[in-house]
Structure 1
Amino acid sequence: MIEEVTAVDEYTVKFILENPYAPFIKNLAMFATMIVSPEAVKEYGEDIFKNPVGTGAFKFVEWVRDDHITVEANEDYWDGRPYLDELIFTVIPNNQTRLLELEDGNIHLMEGLNPTDIKRVRANEELELLEAPGLNVGYIALHNEKKPFDNKQVRKAMNYAINKEEIAEYLMGGQATVAKGPLPPTIWSYDDSLEGYPYDPDEAKRLLAEAGYEDGFEFTLRTYSAPRSYNPVGARLATAVQQYLSQVGIKANIEQLEWGTYIEEGKAGKHTAAFFGWIADNGDPDNFLNVFFNSANRGSTNRAFYVNEKVDQLLEAAQQITDEAKREEIYQEVQQIIVDDAPFVFLNHMKMQIPIRKNVENYVLYPTNNKYFHKVWLAQ
């Protein structure tokens, strides 16, 4: 993709690309594509990630694995010294424990709020609930190269069999919207003509019979335990899905794995079906569609191991066009194909919700879920 990189002067870098690549500028804003200090790489080598060096508002102090990360104000930050002297990111695995710590004033803000605790937060005079639409999607990746999910009719049946409206309303506490396809409605190029897969167990049974599975089938459904921002209820979602599938004759045996193992085996395709999700890195549709469905990403982010040559061609064409109107046309065509192929069970888009102490000032909730503390301060 990148043919050459040159430093024009102290504050300017020039990239020469091998081909036109429309998402390039937005991709540069992602954490994974930030320019790294060559001196730091030489000094730390493979341990560079344990000794991060950057130009941000805060400087790294220490990282105690599974406990906390501490950073301090960068006195020489180009946009002015931050108001806060120090930031501590504390690991608290349990949502309830985390909320108790927030209520007691031991922490100032948190992620991972249970939908059932929303009223509790709103009733607390010392807390505020920040809310915004999310750029995310939760889904079940159906391994398209493994039986029975190599059959499109079966994949469609899976989508019809699950009552996503009930999940969004009751399990997610009304804080989710039903996914009708792979893109959240908050992103440009979203196709609002998509009907998705409304709950229709009779249609699911018909499709199963048509595919030769009139009596249903049995498979292993993988899940994780810890809540995610696109799935705040963790493994409870798998239990709900299991119950819906049983009503159309599909037996899902739930297998729960530790997160690190879960991701590695998901990349390797060791699952038959597994829960995953995605939060936008940069707000470009390519960051969803190319990530999920480009066949070149099998073994990485294409967890459905989905292959469609036309989709590959369309995604490549959209990357090389800078006219957003034309890109939008292509992405809407891709969405139609994807929904018809049903490589995923499209589940939901979660609203972003961050409870904070009311003395935290100027904290902004970003749809990409990035955290910026440069302009944040604590009121007395």
Structure 2
Amino acid sequence: MNDIRPTRLPRTDARFPGLRRRGFLAATSGAVGLGALALAGCSSSGSTDTAAKGGGKPQRGGRLRAAFAGGGASETLDPHASNLFADVARAKALFDKLADYGADLSAQPRLASGWEAGAGLDRWKVTLRKATFHDGKPVTAQDVLYSYRRITDPKRAFRAKADLEPVDLEASRALDERTVEFVLKRPTAGFPNVLAAFGAYIVPEGAEQFDRKPVGSGPFRFVSFAPGKSAVFRRNTDYWDGAPHLDELEIVVANEESARVNALLGGQVEYAHELNPTTGRAHEGKGQIEILRLRNSGMQAFAMKTDRKPFDDRRIREAFFLIADREELVQGALSGAGEIGNDLFGKGYEYYADGLPQREQDLDRARSLLKKAGAEDLTVTLDTSPVAAGFPEAASIFRDQAAKAGVTIKVRTGSKDSYWTDILDSGTLCSYRSGAMPIETHLSQRLLTASTTNATHWRHKDFDALYQQAQSTKDTGQRTAVYQRMQRRLYAEGGFLIWGFADWIIGTARTVRGVETDAPANSLDWARFDKVWLA
């Protein structure tokens, strides 16, 4: 094994001239994390950009520089603390999970070569593939159990803790070096999704210090890390899934979208993450850079609190569903970079109820419902923020649409720094977006009585019972039927007005190949730099 010596970037890096002036490597307190964004929503339509994905044979060599929004001095390489997109990109370079989400958000084996459920769905046997950590030690069942126990430590606040809640880690055990028997607290048909949970990375037994020289089993090895600035990684030639094409990967921090674009245009980076629709439209097809679209990835919505006036009245919620002109919202707020929604999360994902009629604007019906509810002169405050692209624009468009039905909407703009926390408990109507997760995870995290991020305050014991029924149903067809029954109820009377699914936009230099465009953000093939090469 080569002795890799960490290198430190100088205060002024000649490779990035002028970027200090633009704030390219500056940290901001308003960086948006995965927990806040909950980014993603839908898989690609199936079309791909062949120039971006690459034509020709992959070439080995070179360093790819990828720009992401970051979190400043508080950034860490601890994979269990991953929250920002930059955190996850770094974690994917260094570490692996037992499973990860495919393009349809179903669990795909990674460090686990497979899994098998017991008859009662409360015991699962997981087999590990032959893989090694960067120090040459094998990945074992004890490493898996240590990692999951670390995540669920009650003294810590790791993101994947809630996903691992069904697992009884005291009763779970290693059957041999490469086999783990997980004992669950209740029957869980969707247990493979637990293995793919955000932040559920496998680390060596006993590992605690990650920022100086972290050891993982991922496609790249650690070289250096400067929080809020840059992280450098080198090819792991012994990676179980094949050595990366790149010699090195550098993830640099650029919090402002304009800084990421300027760096890409100036040749200071080759990959710019999360561009705005207007930027995509301005540069697409112009020849200077490539604009890649992860089609319909980000759910766009308004969230109504179903336990507060006026939205505690089902008729008013239905009226708001019918007020929305979804096509106008997609065109105006997203510059057309997306497609319309139908008030359900996860379009195209496993279990999605795609047989329901597409909702269209019906102002006459909306006015009739408002009249029956005694709300003909309704005034509502809509909370929004520039925390996400298109939020203020969508709020203004919906305000004008509502006026045609006799509803007065007052738009209130909140802080980028506290918006996602504020809207959970305050207000009655807010702008909302969500991201890549299985439909059952969306239900469990946001729509059960005990859900911690229940922005619509949807709390119904019979709905909770349906979720438990679906989880304990072994037959896929029967389980799908239960999940779709839950979605039909949400379609009829839920609190999420899901008006669209936005494209997730990435910019690359024209020399970059192998970037996958068929997978939404946060899935396995998103930010998967081990499959990227430079032409």
Query: TM-score scaled by structure 1?
Result: 0.85
Shift, 1:170, TM fit: 3.6
Give the aligned partner of residue 237 of structure 1.
394
Where do 1:170-249 residues align within 5 Å?
A: 170-219=332-381, 221-227=382-388, 232-249=389-406
- Residues in 1 aligned to 2:387 and 2:501: alpha-carbon distance in whole angstroms: 18
Q: CA deviation at 1:139?
A: 1.4
Q: Is the CA contact 1:111–1:355 (under 8 Å) kept in the aligned structure 2? A: yes
Secondary structure in 2 matching 1:315: helix
Of the three residues 317, 322, 325, the one matched with 2:474 is 322
1:185-226 deviations in Å (ceiling 9; x for gaps): 31122222222531122222222221111111232x222313
Superposed CA deviations along residues 53-72 of structure 1, whole A, max 9, x for unmatched, are: 5322234532423x444444
TM-score normalized by the length of structure 2? 0.62
Distance 2:274 2:434 in 1: 15
User: What amino acid maps onto 1:27 in structure 2?
Assistant: V
2:194 pairs with 1:27? yes
Deviation of 1:343 after TM superposition, in Å, equals 1.1
Partner of 2:431: helix, strand, or coil?
A: strand
Q: Which amino acid aligns with 1:294?
A: L
Superposed CA deviations along residues 29-52 of structure 1, whole A, max 9, x for unmatched, are 2333233444223xx4xxx68986
- Are 2:423 and 1:266 equivalent residues in the alignment? yes
For 2:284 and 2:444, how far apart are their aligned partners in 1? 39
More deviation, 54-63/333-342: 54-63
Deviations 1:221-257 (A, max 9, x none): 2223133xxxx42422222222222333333333333
Cα gap change, 1:248 to 1:49, in 2 (>3 Å):
farther
Q: Does 1:2 align with 2:173?
A: no
Aligned counterpart for 2:483 among listed residues 319, 331, 344 = 331
Q: Which deviates further from its counterpart, 304-313 or 107-116? A: 107-116
Q: Which amino acid aligns with 1:16?
A: V
Structure 2: runs of 5 or more not aligned: 1-165
Taking only aligned residues, the RMSD between alpha carbons, in angstroms, comes to: 2.6
Q: How many residues align?
A: 363
- 2:225 corresponding residue in structure 1: 62
Which residue in 1 is equivalent to 2:98?
none
1:319-357 deviations in Å (ceiling 9; x for gaps): 112322111111211111001113111211123332221
Q: 2:166 aligned with 1:14, yes or no?
A: no
Residue 231 of structure 2 contacts residue 250 of structure 2 at CA under 8 Å; is this kept in 1? yes
CA contact (8 A) 1:63 1:70 kept: no
Q: 1:306 to 1:100 in 2, by over 3 A?
A: same
Partners in 2 of 1:210 and 1:8 — Cα distance? 63
- Measured in 1, the distance between the counterparts of 2:187 and 2:175 equals 21
The residue matched to 2:408 in structure 1 has which SS?
A: strand
Contact 1:225–1:235, Cα closer than 8 Å, also in 2: yes
Letter in 1 for 2:187: P
Q: Tell me the distance in 2 between the aligned counterparts of 1:222 and 1:135.
A: 23
Pair 1:163–1:99, CA change in 2 (3 A): same
Structure 2 counterpart of 1:372: 528
**Higher mean displacement: 49-58 or 151-160:** 49-58
Q: Contact between 1:163 and 1:199, CA under 8 Å: does it hold in 2? A: yes
Q: Hey, what does 2:111 align to over in structure 1? A: none
Give the distance between the partners of 2:179 and 2:360, measured in 1 at CA: 51
Where structure 1 has 5 or more consecutive residues not aligned to the other structure, the ranges are: none
Paired position in structure 2 for 1:280: 436
> How big is each residue's C-alpha offset from its partner over 1:138-164, in whole Å with a ceiling of 9 and x where there is no partner?
211111122111111111122222211
Give yes or no for contact 2:458–2:494 (8 Å, CA) kept in 1: no
Higher helix share: 1
Letter in 1 for 2:493: D
C-alpha contact 2:294 2:521 (8 A) present in aligned 1: no
8 Å contact 2:399–2:408 — kept in the other structure?
Answer: yes
Following TM superposition, by how much is the alpha carbon of 1:292 offset from its aligned partner in structure 2, in angstroms? 2.6
- Equivalents in 2 of 1:135, 1:114: separation in Å? 13
Question: In the TM superposition, what whole-angstrom CA distance separates every residue of 1:286-325 from its partner, at most 9, and x where no partner exists?
Answer: 122333311220xx22211102223211111111123221
Deviations 1:243-277 (A, max 9, x none): 2223333333333333441222234x123222222
Question: Residues 111 and 325 from structure 1, CA distance in 2 versus in 1: closer, same or farther, beyond 3 angstroms?
Answer: same
Match of 1:114 in 2: 276
Paired position in structure 2 for 1:292: 446
1:256 aligned to which of 413, 422, 426: 413
- Secondary structure at the aligned position of 1:235 is classed as helix
One-letter identity of the residue aligned with 1:127: I
Contact 1:224 1:259 (8 Å CA) reproduced = yes
Aligned with 2:260: secondary structure? helix
Contact 1:216 1:249 in 2 (8 A): yes
Give the drift of 1:177: 1.6
| Whole-angstrom distance in 2 between the partners of 1:51 and 1:159 | 52
Aligned to 1:310: 462
SS of structure 2 residue aligned to 1:203:
helix
Structure 1 residue 117 displacement after superposition: 3.5
Which amino acid is 1:106 matched to? Q
Q: In 1, are the aligned partners of 2:236 and 2:244 still within 8 Å (CA)?
A: yes
Query: Is the 8 Å Cα contact of residues 145 and 305 (structure 1) preserved in structure 2?
Result: yes
1:345 match: 497
Aligned partner letter, 2:477: A
Deviation larger for 182-191 or 339-348: 182-191
CA–CA distance in 2 between the matches of 1:99 and 1:163? 32
